Chain A
Amino acid sequence: MILSRIQPVKQNQLKKKNLINWKKSKNSMRDMMDPVQYFTIKHQQLQDLKKDSALSVIRNKGLEAFTRLGIPTLKHEEWKHTRISGLFNKDFEFAIDQAVPSLSDQEIKALRLPGHEVANEIVFVNGCYSPSLSRISTGDHQLRIVPLEEAARNEYREFVSKHLGHSGNYLKDGINALNTAFAHEGVFIHVKKGHAIEYPIYLYHITDSRTNNNYSQVRNLILVSELAQVQIVQTFGTIGPLESFANEVTEIVAERDSITSFYKIQNENSNANLVSTTHIHQIGKSQTHTVTISLDGGIVRNNLNIVLDAENCESHLCGLYLIKGQTHVDNHTTVDNVKPNCFSNELYKGIMDEQATGVFNGKIFVRPQAQKTNAYQSNKNVLLSNKASVNTKPQLEIFADDVKCSHGCTVGSLDEEALFYLRSRGIGEKKAQSLLLHGFAADILEDIKIKPIRDYIDHLITERLEYEES
């Protein structure tokens, strides 16, 4: 269902701003060349710098794909509602060889999530893993964290070469390729066989935009081994008043009888832009739960791929985008049923106020051999202003004949009858509205199993909806 398109006016405004700024920085993307040229030079610098790197080959492949595919424009089917190319015309700086900027405890503290006292915290600054800011409390025998470069060389070598880059089979665009072209400072996380990790892993992606508009990117790979269980929370933060643009890719491999929960929290300001890709490959009968919460930001694009590559896999995908201002949030999800007897359930909800724009695109593939697939999808949207809009599109491609698939999407304003019911009990109109919206959003939160995180999000939503518990 297409309600309205992104306002073209916005783009013109951006361009004007760029013309003023773009020559200020000598090292910026806009410094007299097009983005492809810019990144090609940067790539060469990185490859020269890390001549013996085990990731050289995959980076070269990434650059090759990037130069071939280019930066997606609105003509690209997967990007038709998200003007990502506009960001590449901006005055961003991408530092590949720069030391990690120092951040004070105070600056980090502001970004920490509740429950961090007992969490395994992994911090990335400008796309680089920072061991000094990270804190791992779970023992090495259960949870191992290794820089990606190192994992590509050591005993994980074969695993890394087999699985790193699997997302590229699904995301055939220059953005994913660009991330691969510069994969170097991320981490490899191994949740070891048979261990249910007691403390969750918190991944912080921090961008420093104090002195310049900052482009950064990170590539992580996670292995959840047989019979292992882990909960991962990912969040993003920008320090400084200038613009940031992060291009992050996390690839997860789930083995037999493992349970993985992955919660993504996005609550930055309007200067923070983000493409965040989570690619989960379930190679054994396993369970995954993902919850994606987007509350604020500039342009935010989430790619979530679930590849059900073993029989009897189960996956739950939940999302909430509660946005206002000029925030644009685009959720692209793919569930690929490769093997028979898999189950997936997807529920995304959106509340858009002011001029915010939302996009939901949900693909479900059922391969010819994937009989007895059960795949459900639902996307529900509430528009609170007549300037807000959402584009929602379910996309089912089913090649097997014995499957149960359903999808549905709704776009509307608040239910008048429900509003009247609440008011007829003495509840004022504003409060009734926030109660209803909170109720609409709250069932997404039930899938977050880490209580401090769930309470935290609930608090943020409550605050946003100006609803106070009486």
Chain B
Amino acid sequence: MLTIRNLHAGIEEREILNGINLEIKAGEVHAIMGPNGSGKSTLASVLAGREGYTVSRGKVDFLGKNLLELSPEDRAREGLFLAFQYPVEIPGVSTTNFIKTALNEIRKYHGEDPLDAVGFLKLMKERMKLLQIDQSLLSRSLNEGFSGGEKKRNEIFQMIMLQPKLAILDETDSGLDIDALRIVAQGVNQFRSKENGILVVTHYQRLLDYIVPDFVHVLYNGRIVKSGTKELALELEEKGYDFIKNTTSETEPA
């Protein structure tokens, strides 16, 4: 589904990613962990097409397409979704209208008819329950004045409304209390299927108790220095990132 080959990217002259290799197949959940500044969020941003990053080397293939050549909107329309670490507040645009517009733009891209108001509301009501999102939240301006937990729940709600093929969750656990974390994880697990891929980017192991990954990768200095199964996350939790810093001088990329 997603194949990253020797990806080098950075901001202006500064290289942050130094040759990332990663393959995610349909049905898999991958977790990328790493200390602050290791390049986790840069990887998520480059994949989603955020401006300001330059890719100097490497290739990213997404469902047979060269991902890096697509505009951010076309990446989304092809089935990529980024749950933001810091969801943006958009005054004057209601969450409902925003999701409806996005959904119909994606449908249009695939040559499908737009959902009418009734069909959309029905779909929304059904999926709201899953994330315990209140109707009043959806009629408010997008993320404006939302609590940290509400913003993250809203991100996952957008994900299950738009039904992407690959979801990248960028530090979705940051700023969440344990109850909110459970709700968010429940939404993600609902989304999890044989057809979908998930890339969880996180600093802490905590989230992975709820969203159990098939593979865990450790990112350090812009490279994946260690890959393993979910036990790797536990080992990291126990020993801390220093264990990686001390043991990696020249490790083969996964």
How many of A's residues come within 8 Å of B, CB to CB? 26
| Complex CA–CA separation, A371 to B98 (angstroms) | 45
Of the listed stretches B104-112, B207-215, B229-237, name the one at the interface; the rest are far from the partner chain. B104-112
User: Is residue B50 contacting chain A, with contact meaning CB distance below 8 A?
Assistant: yes
Contact, CB under 8 Å: B101 / A431: yes
Contact, CB under 8 Å: B98 / A422: yes
Give chain B's interface residues, CB within 8 Å of chain A.
Answer: 48-51, 71-73, 75-77, 81-82, 84, 87-88, 90-93, 97-106, 109, 114, 141, 158, 162
Of the listed stretches A197-205, A256-264, A265-273, A434-442, name the one at the interface; the rest are far from the partner chain. A434-442
Contact, CB under 8 Å: B73 / A439: no
7 smallest A-B Cβ distances: which pairs?
A439-B92, A426-B76, A425-B102, A439-B93, A421-B88, A423-B72, A442-B92
Given known A438-B93, A439-B91, contact A424–B101 (CB-CB < 8 A): no
Which of the residues B90, B97, B105, B109 comes within 8 Å of A436, measured between beta carbons?
B90
Contact, CB under 8 Å: A426 / B77: yes
B91 vs chain A, min Cβ distance (A): 6
Among B77, B90, B97, chain A packs the most CB atoms within 10 A around the CB of: B90
Contact, CB under 8 Å: B91 / A424: no
Contact, CB under 8 Å: A426 / B92: no
Q: Which residue of A is nearest B104, CB measured?
A: A470
Given known A422-B98, A439-B141, contact A427–B93 (CB-CB < 8 A): no
Of the listed stretches A9-17, A162-170, A308-316, A412-420, name the one at the interface; the rest are far from the partner chain. A412-420
A362 vs chain B, min Cβ distance (A): 21
Contact, CB under 8 Å: A435 / B93: yes
Given known A421-B84, A425-B98, contact A443–B73 (CB-CB < 8 A): no
Q: Which residue of B is nearest A441, CB measured?
A: B92
Give chain A's interface residues, CB within 8 Å of chain B.
Answer: 415-418, 420-429, 431-432, 435-436, 438-443, 469-470
Q: Which residues of A contact B92 (CB under 8 A)?
A: 438-443
Contact, CB under 8 Å: A440 / B72: no
| Complex CA–CA separation, A469 to B116 (angstroms) | 11
Q: Which residues of A contact B90 (CB under 8 A)?
A: 418, 421-422, 436, 439
Q: Which residues of B contact A435 (CB under 8 A)?
A: 93, 98, 101
Contact, CB under 8 Å: B91 / A420: no
Among A415, A421, A436, chain B packs the most CB atoms within 10 A around the CB of: A421
Q: Which residue of B is nearest A429, CB measured?
A: B73
18 A-B pairs with CB atoms under 8 Å apart are A416-B51, A420-B50, A420-B72, A422-B90, A422-B98, A422-B102, A423-B72, A424-B76, A425-B76, A426-B73, A426-B77, A426-B102, A426-B162, A427-B73, A427-B105, A439-B92, A439-B141, A470-B104
B60 vs chain A, min Cβ distance (A): 16
Q: Which residue of B is nearest A442, CB measured?
A: B92
| Complex CA–CA separation, A435 to B48 (angstroms) | 20
B145 vs chain A, min Cβ distance (A): 13
B97 vs chain A, min Cβ distance (A): 7
A230 vs chain B, min Cβ distance (A): 28
Q: Which residue of A is nearest B97, CB measured?
A: A469
Q: Which residues of A contact B49 (CB under 8 A)?
A: 423-424
Given known A426-B105, A428-B73, contact A443–B91 (CB-CB < 8 A): yes
| Complex CA–CA separation, A427 to B81 (angstroms) | 12
A446 vs chain B, min Cβ distance (A): 9
